[in-house]
Chains A and B, each alone.
Chain A
Amino acid sequence: DVKVTQSSRYLVKRTGEKVFLECVQDMDHENMFWYRQDPGLGLRLIYFSYDVKMKEKGDIPEGYSVSREKKERFSLILESASTNQTSMYLCASSSRAWNQPQHFGDGTRLSIL
């Protein structure tokens, strides 16, 4: 089974802090994704990466950056956390095959105070 592991299930940070969310996958997938999930809005793509050191902006990249130094690890960085970034963050990975689904971690519920 594909395993996507997010480092924290719950995280509480303060406004202005730099926040790191980590994600590791064990299936040698080329693609990795970061989403945020908010009630009534579904999942919105923040960034994705299709290879080591490669990244593309998703639909809502403002206020976020990412890092992919190793194939199995994809980090999401909140440069200066704000209260409107309080949300559930989901990491996913997939192979390059078009017919394969994305596989998700259990999420990090982030609260910015």
Chain B
Amino acid sequence: AQSVAQPEDQVNVAEGNPLTVKCTYSVSGNPYLFWYVQYPNRGLQFLLKYITGDNLVKGSYGFEAEFNKSQTSFHLKKPSALVSDSALYFCAVRGGDSSYKLIFGSGTRLLVRP
């Protein structure tokens, strides 16, 4: 069965420091991986995706993510955190089994302190 794990409920980081939000996945076939961000009382906004090609993908607002096939991970990163990055982050995967469905992780709350 396909699944996504975000092992940290919350990540705390100081402004200006690098941040990492972790995601591991389990799918059949080649994975299609996505990161979304949710600000309070809003829907999910697409940040970036990995489909194929370079293992390091760049997305919106200075975020990037590293795909690691051997570790089945797709961690979200940013070199220098901003207070405005504080939000709820979701990792999602679509398996290579011709399904339209996305499987979402439980979410990680990022808190960037000034």
Q: Using CB atoms and an 8 Å cutoff, list the residues of chain A in contact with chain B.
A: 4, 9, 31, 40-43, 45, 48, 50, 58, 90, 92, 94, 96, 98-99, 101-107, 109
Contact = CB atoms under 8 A, between A and B. Distances in A.
Contacts of B94: 98
A42 B90 contact: yes
Contact of B43 (A31, A99, A105): A105
A98 B32 contact: yes
A102 B106 contact: no
Given A104-B43, A106-B42, A106-B43, A43 B90 contact: yes
Give the interface size class of chain B: 20 to 34
A48 B44 contact: no
A101 to B, nearest CB: 4
Interface in B10-60: 32, 34, 36, 41-46, 49, 51
Interface stretch (B61-69, B77-85, B97-105): B97-105
B58 to A, nearest CB: 15
Interface of B: 9, 32, 34, 36, 41-46, 49, 51, 90, 94, 100-102, 104-107
Contacts of A109: 41
A42 B106 contact: yes
A96 to B, nearest CB: 8
B51 A99 contact: yes
B45 A104 contact: yes
A40 B10 CA distance: 11
B44 A90 contact: yes
Contacts of B100: 31, 48, 50, 94, 96
Contacts of B105: 42
B41 A106 contact: yes
Nearest to B91: A42
Contacts of A45: 101-102
Nearest to A58: B101
